[in-house]
Amino acid sequence: MDVTISQSRVEGRVRAPPSKSYTHRAILAAGYGDEAVVSDPLVSADTRATMRAVEAFGGSVDRSGDDARLEIEGFDGRPEVPDDVVDCANSGTTTRLVTACGALADGLCVFTGDDSLRSRPQGPLLDAIDQLGGRAESTRGNGQAPLVVGGDTGGGRVSIPGDVSSQYITALLMAGAVTEEGIEIDLETELKSAPYVDITLEVLRDFGVEAERTAEGFTVPGGQSYDPTGGEYAVPGDFSSMSYLLAAGAVAAADGEAVVVEGARPSAQGDSAIVGILESMGAAVEWDREAGEITVPRASLSGTTVDVGDTPDLLPTIAALGAVADGDTVIENCEHVRYKETDRVSAMAEELEKLGASVTEERDRLTVHGGESDLVGARVDGRADHRIVMSLSVAGLVADGDTVIEGGEHVDVSFPDFFDALESLGVDVERAE
């Protein structure tokens, strides 16, 4: 689907979607348990993949209401061997979390996904499962899906790199709680995207599971049960998705007006760093933490330097902001952002250049020369990546003329109502199949 964004001024109130990261973890945590309700979940392409996996393991997910509540009957720590191959679609989070879960099965599980997912690295997680006595293989021998795992893994000690994906750590912690021995994780390298593991630890606590950091990495005792207080877990708002709405206010709010984003209560989400990033660029951001509301008027932005080692999902948003700001915006420590749904470093460099931005791309750094950029509407490729699509939409708000974004339907991965939200703020949006 092509989506056309016209140069626009925005104003009004809009609610951020629920957190994708928390929703994934909550659905699987409920699956590991007996039964639980996940309220206020994000129901999207990615999280539906996690629901399908829970059902493949012998659980059930009841969405008979209005998607505001998921009633989940779990597999009580013992996943069944799925009847068929489990399709994780485009969801890397699903793949990694359920791969560790599948290693607990008394038999073999097969996980695969679309072209993009089958190009993403899974080798360190497969190696970790092998260290724990399970069976874990890539069918093509390249550390990528399709994956075959199983072996009724009982836990133990594992050594794994921390600079490829924090999702490996999350997967092992969640599975380790229901093993007999538990799992001790030794990190071989510095942990990237550490706030995402903080999210995992927060969700585990809320489900009554003990896990903690150690001098070497992390540990989770075995023999535990997943059981949230009162049998229900509520998902907080998503700061990754919120970043596009906040950026829209900063670059395109109408004179004397602002964008107010609801659902912004504090949590362990590292991407709440977008508030400080906007402030460092000169935006007058007001965050009422108690009410969960962030207000952002338009500002004359200046370039800044941001290390995205812990916040890789913010790179596309920051790059779009940098194309509007005066001076250089330098995004550092970003090599790991190349291993997402697409190479987001190259994708943002190439697509922003189509819009007239001046960009310098290096392996671990992206510099957007805002002072040398003059954005003009053009046809750009969303790269079948929800975050690229939404970030280019932000740039399109200030580009002269119309910006046509290919692959607009991919926002369904994390923010299905994104374009409706933009329209509610006054953006002229046209969709063409």
Closest-CA residue to 264 (of 20, 69, 15, 41):
15
Is 21 a known ligand-binding residue?
yes
**Is 25 annotated in some ligand binding site?**
yes
CA max distance for the chain? 63
20 is in an annotated binding site: yes
Q: Does the annotation count 66 as an active-site position?
A: no
For residue 382 the two structure tokens come to 């969303």
Grouping H, G, I as helix, E, B as strand and the rest as coil, residue 424 is helix
Contact 20, 42 (CB under 8 A): yes
**Residue 7 assigned as binding residue:** no
Cα separations in angstroms, 255 against 213, 372, 395 = 48, 25, 18
Q: Which of 227, 238, 313, 328 is catalytic?
A: 313
> By 3-state DSSP, what share of the chain in percent is helix, strand and coil, each rounded to 5?
35, 25, 40
What distances in angstroms separate CA 65 from CA 40, 52, 68, 69, one per listed residue?
12, 17, 7, 7
Q: Is 92 annotated as a binding residue?
A: yes
- Residues 153, 175: Cα–Cα separation, whole Å: 9
**CA 382/CA 371 separation, integer angstroms:** 24
Q: Is 193 annotated as a binding residue?
A: yes
Closest CA to 152 of 236, 222, 79, 51: 79
Does 387 show up as a binding residue in the annotation?
A: yes
Contact predicate 254/11, CB 8 Å: yes
Closest CA to 319 of 279, 280, 359: 359
Extract the annotated binding site for phosphoenolpyruvate: 20, 92, 120, 167, 344, 387
Extract the annotated binding site for 3-phosphoshikimate: 20-21, 25, 165-167, 193, 313, 340
Any idea which residues carry the catalytic annotation?
Answer: 313
Extract the annotated binding site: 20-21, 25, 92, 120, 165-167, 193, 313, 340, 344, 387
